[in-house]
Structure 1
Amino acid sequence: MEYLRNECTADSPFSSISGRAARARLLVEGSRLEPETVRHLVATLRPSESRALALEHPTVVGALDGAPPELRYLANRRAMRLARCGDQHSREGVLLFSARGGGRVAQVFGDLATAERVAVLCPGAGNRGSNFWTGLGGLRHRSPALQAAQVYDAVCAGGPEAARVAVIAWLGYDTPAGLGVDVARAVLARAGAVALRRLVAGLVVTNPGATIVLLGHSYGSVVIGAAASHLPRQVTDLVVFGSPGMGVRNAGELRTSARVWAGQARRDWVRWVPGRRLLGVGHGTKPAHPAFGACALSTADVPDHDHYLSPGTDALAHVARIVGWAARTRSRCA
């Protein structure tokens, strides 16, 4: 704790007792605090104090679910500069940045603080911080950031939604490295689900009026399935595509009030994945199977596993409609 005493001097911007206490708790307990507590502690700080905290400890503040988005953007811009990471344009709207594990990155498109609807894209196996913007295998169409941007653009193209929607590309967990044993098990998905639930709780705290849509591609749908029963009512829709399963036999077992949507392209290799779970291997019934009970997501012109969110596909258009009107209706399927 010596470093805290050294930094809380008369020359520090943290001159008030409340500011010092909030700063100390955020630095020491930040990753363990509930997002509501984070929100309260940050609100205790004066603007100059919170800015100083973000610039001095960017990796801590940049990961604080429950902190105002603009403060996290500031911290993560600082963290990326210190890491000499990426192009300048990639540093805007970065809600999360860390080199831990395979890398943690989240980028926001739209105004997260004022959005009425927020969509979170959870990508699947092989995605890392190192290919978040360039795409798995150097293929840009596989980039989570690009895919989220395409969802945002498609929603905005459908009407006056731009000021009311935000889309997050969220790589907040360690994904399986490839088509090995990890991708057939739910261990990494369960860890990812804890982080996803925390992200969602932070979104609810910072923008309580917004509704939330979760989009899961491939193994990302396993993460959403593991998180489903613990999600708040603000999550209105779960949309999965190219999914090997959500860890359950049917949509009812997800124990969520959210609508569940699923699609699988005819030429997606995931069709060869057995729709069962045995001795901890496999992810249960594939959500696109009629017996699962999900609403059908249009995928007729999707050519493979990696183009569900490509411009011009009916899948992207359908996802954009779901995101665009998620807050307006709770109809079963449309």
Structure 2
Amino acid sequence: MTWKRFITALLAMTLGVPGAYVFGPTPPSPAPLPAGQAAWLADPAHLPDLSAAPAATVAAYFAGLPDGRAEELAHTYPDVVGNLDGAPIELRYAANLLQSPQWAGRQLLALDPRGDGRIAEVLGDLRGATHVTVLVPGVDDTLGNFDTGHGGRLRRAPAWQGRQLYTRMLADRPDARVAVVVWLGYDPPEGVRRQAIREERAAAGAQALDRFLDGLVTGRPGLAITVVGHSYGSTVAGLAAHDLNPQVTDIVAIGSPGMGADSAAGLHTFARVWAGSAPDDWIRRVPGVRVLGAGHGRLPIDPAFGALPLPCGNVDGHDGYFEPGSAALQAMASIGTGSTGDPR
């Protein structure tokens, strides 16, 4: 998607379409029940509704089960257990493999094939890691193109991007105990249209991201987390920032159209905020505005925003941040391994 198409779409919406379409609020739609939830709640054993429970409550529930009961629940309700933030990591891996054997050999902390799909893949030893980087993809990313990239371009594929980052982290620090989670746990907009200009999708994603991260750190007070948001994924990260678990030490925005605030201070987070865009990234030409729900605020690469600069001088285009040899990839790896220092 080129910047010219984005600007054209924005102008068409603001000038040629009734203002309510762009600037009016989107009527809330009822959230669907989590996959398998109806059957879980209908179980004769009267299983508790954990779908909205804090991750710590979920963890306590599973810790209190008698031997073998957790595995039994995972086998009976894999779509529920596999997506419960706070449930044991290995149990979630096993549950997601049970519901989708085609993902054998991969570590999935979330999997929901409904609609455009949801997925969270872990690269590395999450249980043994001291530093975890969570990558949040953006517009047009779906379960269907998670491995191939939208438009069939591999460098756009979230799974490929995550592997490049994990490989770079290990190359830099072979002794580092690190993991990468590629988190497509929300429904990104389809194309650069109304939903991409507005923030409803990002707001829903921010709530899901906050909950997911709480699940990662439950019972692990020494774990440090970096959140990397690419494109609209940086908007998700920005809206999540004020509620992020304090164990999130860094937020990185790459190719960002805005983070839902006009300054890093406006994100209300103790995490360090980094931002960078390729010299030829079309996102640089997006208006840094936020009016009546349209737009995402000042671009975080604007010095006035106050983010720490992420080097992107040799990055090519909007999707080149994870290319081997890119300055951005090197910088993200250094942040993710803790090589830039821990701000806490």
* TM score, norm. by length of structure 2: 0.85
Match of 2:52 in 1: 32
Match of 1:182 in 2: 195
Match of 1:17 in 2: none
Percent identity (aligned): 45
- Residue 272 of structure 1 and its aligned partner are, at CA, apart by 1.6
Structure 1: how far apart are the matches of 2:128 and 2:100?
Answer: 25
Structure 2: how far apart are the matches of 1:7 and 1:199?
Answer: 26
Match of 2:77 in 1: 57
Match of 1:129 in 2: 143
Match of 2:227 in 1: 214
Match of 2:63 in 1: 43
Change (3 A) 1:177 1:115: same
Question: Aligned partner of 2:315: which letter?
Answer: V
Change (3 A) 1:135 1:3: closer
Match of 2:20 in 1: none
Match of 1:102 in 2: 116
Per residue, is there more helix in 1 or in 2? 1
Match of 1:111 in 2: 125
Match of 2:13 in 1: none
Choose which of 170, 176, 184 in structure 2 pairs with 1:171.
184
In the alignment, is the contact (CA less than 8 A) between 1:117 and 1:327 conserved in 2?
no
1:196 equivalent to 2:216? Answer: no
Q: What SS does the aligned partner of 1:325 have?
A: coil
Question: Aligned partner of 1:53: which letter?
Answer: L
- Residue 118 of structure 1 and its aligned partner are, at CA, apart by 0.9
Match of 1:292 in 2: 305
In the alignment, is the contact (CA less than 8 A) between 2:40 and 2:77 conserved in 1?
no
1:222-237 map, 5 Å: 222-237=235-250
Structure 1: how far apart are the matches of 2:341 and 2:67?
Answer: 35
Change (3 A) 1:180 1:40: same
Relative to structure 2, which stretch is displaced further, 319-328 or 176-185? 319-328
In the alignment, is the contact (CA less than 8 A) between 1:140 and 1:146 conserved in 2?
yes
Q: What SS does the aligned partner of 1:131 have?
A: coil
Structure 1: how far apart are the matches of 2:203 and 2:38?
Answer: 36
1:138-153 map, 5 Å: 138-153=152-167
Match of 1:13 in 2: none
In the alignment, is the contact (CA less than 8 A) between 1:204 and 1:234 conserved in 2?
yes
In the alignment, is the contact (CA less than 8 A) between 2:150 and 2:156 conserved in 1?
yes
In the alignment, is the contact (CA less than 8 A) between 1:136 and 1:143 conserved in 2?
yes
- Residue 6 of structure 1 and its aligned partner are, at CA, apart by 9.6
Match of 1:15 in 2: none
Deviations 1:141-172 (A, max 9, x none): 1111111111111111012344x111000000
Q: What SS does the aligned partner of 2:57 have?
A: helix
Ranges in structure 1 where 5+ consecutive residues have no aligned partner: 9-19
Ranges in structure 2 where 5+ consecutive residues have no aligned partner: 1-36
Match of 1:315 in 2: 328
- Residue 50 of structure 1 and its aligned partner are, at CA, apart by 0.9
Structure 1: how far apart are the matches of 2:123 and 2:40?
Answer: 36
- Residue 325 of structure 1 and its aligned partner are, at CA, apart by 1.0
Change (3 A) 1:6 1:282: closer
In the alignment, is the contact (CA less than 8 A) between 1:236 and 1:327 conserved in 2?
no
1:324 equivalent to 2:337? Answer: yes
Structure 1: how far apart are the matches of 2:201 and 2:334?
Answer: 30
Structure 1: how far apart are the matches of 2:337 and 2:116?
Answer: 32
- Residue 3 of structure 1 and its aligned partner are, at CA, apart by 7.3
Structure 1: how far apart are the matches of 2:220 and 2:88?
Answer: 9
Structure 2: how far apart are the matches of 1:296 and 1:141?
Answer: 23
Structure 2: how far apart are the matches of 1:78 and 1:206?
Answer: 26
Structure 1: how far apart are the matches of 2:325 and 2:42?
Answer: 57
Change (3 A) 1:41 1:321: same
Q: What SS does the aligned partner of 1:256 have?
A: coil
RMSD between aligned residues: 2.1
Change (3 A) 1:186 1:118: same
Change (3 A) 1:2 1:148: closer
Change (3 A) 1:327 1:110: farther
Change (3 A) 1:128 1:184: same
Deviations 1:122-156 (A, max 9, x none): 00000011111111111111111111111111111
Deviations 1:69-100 (A, max 9, x none): 1000000001113xxxx4544xx111100013
